[in-house]
């Protein structure tokens, strides 16, 4: 700093006793002249910029120089011109707060951080043409430089992280207060900076999205919240779609999904050597090495979103956030054909608030299916989501399920009356999707509905038999394994009077269902089949119904006989009727076995039914063996 101080004009020099107070003012005048005379005297300007460049060996002397320069620039921000002072702007953009937040430094880095932010805020407020640059500089602090990530894992890492991010979000709030339009400019900047093409690590993307959610729930969340959440969902979809299924993985899937993972667990539990245990879902997916990091990133981001939803529930904001997520779901996820896991964000939000969010989601999907305004592909996707959701959501009441089945049956019956035609899979795809949804839901829910007298009567009165016997013949078009299980349970429950419905012959061997879309047909898509992501699945497990725990109508094992079992305690795997707790047996507790020993690595595969001949199930101890719908065959 010696040269700068020696260059201060003599007329500004005051007596020595006041030198300390005047030196800041003298320096400010000098910096101003450096900025104004950049074209005539480049040497002084370059020296000024040089004080802002990072030093390899940063000591207390360099800290004092940097602090003095920053304070001087803050006093003359009105003279900073982005056209003439590009090198200065560039030097400021390279000042990372993370480098000055180390708790083991010999100098007080917090003063430097505060000085940097003071300058950035001053530039944003006084220079309208630099506000985007200022916001961009702050947003880039959402993730630290890569060489700093390792240090964040030690004891002081949390403190270092808090020092930086609390100041960054404070500066964003300060700019938003002083520049009312700043939040509108901030949203696209945040979205644009989401790590995408440049290779990024899991901690980087997670920390960045963590700060996006912090913005959403922060002081300016009312303005930017509607952008942050959809942008995060879009990122989830991007990672989701990047998880591919190569040919080798497809062959593995065909082999491993011949039976459920519970069966694999029973076989391998006898082996004491843990290395022979079945691989967990994440390991299975990561066998396609190109997807390994995407799987980990997606799993971590979904868990981060789950935690944010829990926070919103605690603060009473879940309903508001759910509405934003629902709009994003309809815009992005619903028509993303190969979405494997992103939809579980909606599932978890519904689980946290079954009475409002849970019911609302089911009704929206139903209305989307019924509406002729929506294109066929959207309606088919909506009813696939609806069927899978009603089948898997433990927190939905039997009353709600029965009501929606009634609506689906009424729609399909009305369709039959208006279309007295012969079977044509391509021409009536929406109809067949609705029929399959009815059967799929009842595969999971028939026993619980038949155990409640008033719902049993309601179910029997529905004109389903007329639908199945119609010329359109949905039983020969829908997925054979779903049809088989549905008819088997219907026969055991005596749901229909017509014996001809239960004459299988070559019914399930027909290839007509393939005309419904071939190997990639949408009718095989059941979006809420068990989640394959290890960490995410642990959050979903208490709210989720697995096929192996469903009681069927042909299962002779009664709930009353469970007293002989080793454990008599109730399990959180039981269906719960959240909306009709005062109604006796108006839940699905009688439909699900207790399961205290569920292994997180062994029971995550989806259960889209696997085509098989009738009679094959008779050789099995329990129900149908089902394959996951997110396998290549169902995508």
pLDDT band of residue 197 (cuts 50, 70, 90) is low
Give the CA dihedral 501, 507, 508, 511, nearest 10 degrees.
-140
Q: What is the pLDDT of residue 107?
A: 63
Beta strand segments in 306-349, E: none
Query: What's the CA gap between 205 and 230, in Å, rounded?
Result: 16
Structure tokens at 182: 């700043």
CB of 476 within 8 A of CB of 423?
Answer: yes
Query: What's the CA gap between 245 and 241, in Å, rounded?
Result: 10
pLDDT band of residue 502 (cuts 50, 70, 90) is low
pTM of the complete model: 0.79
Average pLDDT value for the chain: 76
Considering only 289-303, 381-395, 494-508, 591-605, which range has the smallest mean pLDDT? 591-605
Q: What is the pLDDT of residue 524?
A: 59
Question: Tens digit of pLDDT for each residue in 529-570?
Answer: 889 899 999 999 999 999 888 999 988 654 334 333 333 333
Output the 3-class SS for 525-548.
CCCCCCCCCHHHHHHHHHHECCHH
Q: Three-class SS of residue 626?
A: strand
Element spanning 453, H or E: helix 453-461
CB of 305 within 8 A of CB of 345?
Answer: yes
CB of 335 within 8 A of CB of 344?
Answer: no
Residue 352, pLDDT > 70, answer yes
Q: What is the mean pLDDT of residues 590-614?
A: 37
Q: Three-class SS of residue 217?
A: helix
CB of 535 within 8 A of CB of 500?
Answer: no
CB of 535 within 8 A of CB of 396?
Answer: no
Nearest to 478 by CA among 501, 510, 441: 510
Q: What is the mean pLDDT of residues 259-284?
A: 41
The most confident of the ranges 43-57, 101-115, 145-159, 219-233 is: 219-233
CB of 349 within 8 A of CB of 321?
Answer: yes
Residue 623, pLDDT > 70, answer no
Element spanning 96, H or E: none
């Amino acid at each position: 700093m010696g040269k700068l101080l020696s260059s201060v004009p003599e007329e500004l020099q005051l007596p020595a006793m006041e030198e300390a107070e005047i030196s800041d003012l003298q320096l400010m005048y000098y910096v101003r002249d450096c900025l104004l005379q950049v074209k005539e005297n480049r040497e002084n300007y370059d020296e000024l910029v040089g004080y802002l460049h990072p030093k390899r060996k940063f000591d207390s002397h360099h800290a004092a120089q940097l602090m003095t320069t920053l304070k001087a620039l803050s006093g003359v921000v009105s003279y900073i011109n982005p056209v003439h002072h590009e090198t200065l702007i560039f030097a400021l953009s390279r000042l990372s707060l993370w480098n000055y937040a180390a708790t083991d430094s010999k100098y007080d880095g917090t003063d430097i951080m505060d000085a940097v932010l003071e300058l950035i805020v001053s530039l944003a407020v006084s220079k309208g043409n630099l506000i985007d640059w200022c916001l961009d500089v702050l947003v880039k602090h959402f993730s630290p430089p890569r060489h700093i990530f390792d240090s964040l894992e030690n004891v002081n890492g949390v403190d270092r992280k808090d020092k930086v991010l609390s100041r960054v979000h404070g500066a964003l709030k300060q700019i938003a207060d002083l520049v009312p339009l700043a939040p509108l400019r901030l949203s696209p900047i945040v979205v644009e900076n989401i790590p995408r093409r440049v290779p990024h690590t899991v901690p980087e993307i997670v920390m960045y999205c963590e700060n996006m959610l912090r913005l959403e729930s922060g002081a300016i969340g009312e303005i930017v919240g509607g952008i942050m959440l959809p942008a995060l969902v879009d990122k989830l979809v991007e990672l989701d779609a990047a998880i591919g299924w190569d040919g080798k993985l497809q062959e593995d899937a065909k082999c491993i999904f011949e039976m459920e993972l519970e069966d694999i667990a029973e076989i391998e539990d006898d082996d004491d050597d843990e290395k022979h245990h079945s691989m967990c879902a994440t390991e299975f997916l990561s066998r396609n090495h190109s997807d390994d990091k995407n799987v980990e990133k997606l799993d971590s981001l979904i868990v981060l979103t789950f935690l944010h939803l829990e926070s919103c529930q605690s603060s009473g904001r879940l309903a508001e956030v759910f509405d934003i997520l629902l709009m994003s779901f309809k815009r992005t996820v619903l028509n993303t054909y190969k979405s494997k896991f992103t939809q579980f964000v909606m599932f978890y939000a519904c689980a946290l608030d079954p009475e409002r969010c849970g019911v609302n989601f089911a009704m929206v999907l139903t209305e989307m299916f019924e509406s002729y305004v929506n294109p066929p592909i959207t309606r088919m996707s909506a009813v696939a989501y609806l069927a899978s959701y009603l089948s898997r959501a433990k927190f939905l009441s039997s009353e709600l399920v029965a009501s929606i089945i009634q609506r689906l049956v009424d729609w399909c019956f009305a369709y039959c009356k208006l279309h007295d035609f012969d079977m044509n899979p391509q021409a009536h795809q929406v109809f067949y999707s609705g029929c399959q949804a009815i059967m799929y839901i009842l595969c999971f829910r028939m026993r619980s509905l038949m155990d409640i007298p008033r719902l049993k009567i309601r179910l029997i009165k529905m004109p389903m038999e007329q639908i199945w016997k119609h010329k359109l013949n949905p039983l020969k078009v829908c997925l054979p394994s779903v049809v088989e299980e549905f008819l088997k349970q219907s026969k055991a429950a005596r749901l229909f009077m017509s014996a001809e419905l239960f004459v299988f012959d070559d019914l399930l061997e027909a290839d007509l269902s393939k005309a419904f879309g071939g190997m990639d047909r949408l009718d095989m898509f059941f979006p809420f089949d068990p989640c394959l992501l290890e960490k995410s699945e642990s959050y979903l497990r208490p709210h989720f119904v697995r096929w192996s725990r469903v009681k069927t109508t042909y299962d002779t094992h009664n709930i009353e006989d469970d007293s002989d079992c080793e454990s008599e305690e109730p399990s959180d795997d039981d269906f719960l009727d959240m909306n009709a707790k005062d109604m006796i047996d108006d839940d699905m507790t009688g439909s699900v076995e207790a399961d205290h020993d569920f292994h997180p690595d062994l029971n995550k595969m989806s259960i889209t039914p696997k085509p098989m001949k009738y009679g094959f199930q008779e050789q099995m101890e329990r129900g149908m063996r089902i394959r996951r719908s997110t396998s290549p065959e169902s995508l």
